[in-house]
Each structure stands twice: as structure tokens, then as C-alpha cells.
Structure 1
Amino acid sequence: MKFCFDIDGTICSQKPDNQAAYNEAKPFKDVIKEINRLYKDGHTIIFLTARGSTTGIDWKDFTTEQLRKWGVKYHELHFGKPNADVFIDDKARTLEDAIDLSSRNYRIL
């Protein structure tokens, strides 16, 4: 299965008053542990982030190093997610849903 995760507010903290304070983000270790388990179990892990989408700043090197320091295992990292307050998606799932479905060998459609 392919799992696509956001970064800020999903695998690490995000300051609501300063969303570009990426250097202050703290990893959610329990979430990263589950993502790494999915990776180890043979699932494809993809990250999609809006970092830099409003400022035009290139956060690729910083984000790649940040994920490395946090010990996050993944296959792909994509930038260019539109900056929005709410995303509506027909495939939206929570991390808990994804873990449950993967453990029962269900396919998320």
C-alpha cells in the first residue's frame, strides 16, 4: 500500500502563530514509530508538504535533514502541496485508520 503523509501538524508540532517556524518543530515520536513500522512492513511512504508554498522559500534540504535527524523512513518527499486551511479528499484517512487497514491487509481506495 502507498501511504501519503503531511509533515507539519501530522508527524511534528506546528506553531499556530508562526507556521514557518520549522526549525522549532518537535517530532511526534509515536507517530514516526508507526510510520517506520509501515515502511518496515513493505508499504510505500510518501510525504507531501506545503512548506514554502506561500513564501517561495526552498525548504527541501532543511526538511530532508530534519526527517533524517528524526529517524523517519520514507520513499518520496514532495513539495508543492497547496496552502489551505481545510483539505477535502475522497481518500482522506487518519493515521489510526491507515494502521488498522494495513494490519488487516485492506486496500485503501
Structure 2
Amino acid sequence: MIYCFDIDGTVCTQTPDNKIRAYNEAEPFVDMIEAINKLYDAGHRIIFFTARGSSSGIDWREFTEKQLTQWGFKYHELILGKPTADVFIDDKAVNVRDWGRCGN
């Protein structure tokens, strides 16, 4: 399977948009590191998809790649350019809290 995860507010604490200091202060959710790495180790494809830089035009790729690695996440791909929105409607969407309740 292919799993696609948002970053801010999903695998780490939510930070104010496009603030280097705020991104530096983000803390990973340890349970998410463990769950995602378990999926990776089981052979699933892991993609991170983030809106970092979508509204500011700042390229956060290098910073975000280093951050994910420092936190210990295993993944295959990082995609920047997720549109900024208050609500996402998707037929395959699962809220992170609901996903956690499923035993992940």
C-alpha cells in the first residue's frame, strides 16, 4: 500500500505557517514515528505531503528532509506544494486521530 502523511499537526506539533523558528521548535509525535516506521518496515510506500512554503514561496525541502531524518522517520518521498486550505475533502482521507484509534 501507499500511505501519504501530512507533516504539521499530523506527525509533529502544529506550527504557525512559514516561520523557520516555529518549524525548528516543532516536536515529533513519537507514536507516529513508530507507526510510520512499522509500515515502512512492512514494505509499504511512505510519502510525506506538506503545504510548507505553498503560500510563501519559500523552499522548505532541504530543511524538512533533514528534520524528518533527525526525528527518525523512514520514508520514500517528500512532496511539497500541497495547497493551503482549512478543510480537505477526500474519498480516501483518514483523520490522524481516527487512524491512531485503529491501533496504529
Verify: 1:7 aligned to 2:7, yes or no: yes
Unaligned runs of 5+ in 1: 104-109
Verify: 1:29 aligned to 2:30, yes or no: yes
| 1:1-109 to 2 correspondences below 5 Å | 1-15=1-15, 18-20=16-18, 21-95=22-96, 97=99, 100=102
- Tell me the alpha carbon deviations over residues 16-42 of structure 1, each in whole angstroms, 9 at most, x when there is no partner: xx2332111000011111000000011
Residue identity (%): 60
Q: 1:14 offset after TM fit, Å?
A: 1.1
Count matched residues.
100
- Using the alignment, how far apart are the partners of 1:94 and 1:37 within structure 2? 19
Aligned-pair RMSD on alpha carbons?
2.0
Q: 1:44 offset after TM fit, Å?
A: 0.4
The answer on whether the counterparts of 2:17 and 2:52 sit within 8 Å (CA) in structure 1 is no
Structure 2 counterpart of 1:107: none
Unaligned runs of 5+ in 2: none
Q: 1:99 offset after TM fit, Å?
A: 8.9
- Using the alignment, how far apart are the partners of 1:38 and 1:98 within structure 2? 13
TM-score normalised per structure 2: 0.87
Q: Which amino acid aligns with 1:14?
A: Q
- Tell me the alpha carbon deviations over residues 27-60 of structure 1, each in whole angstroms, 9 at most, x when there is no partner: 0011111000000011000010000000000000
Structure 1 residues 98 and 38, CA, compared in 2 at 3 Å: closer, same or farther? farther
Q: 1:94 offset after TM fit, Å?
A: 3.5
TM-score normalised per structure 1: 0.83
- Using the alignment, how far apart are the partners of 2:10 and 2:99 within structure 1? 14
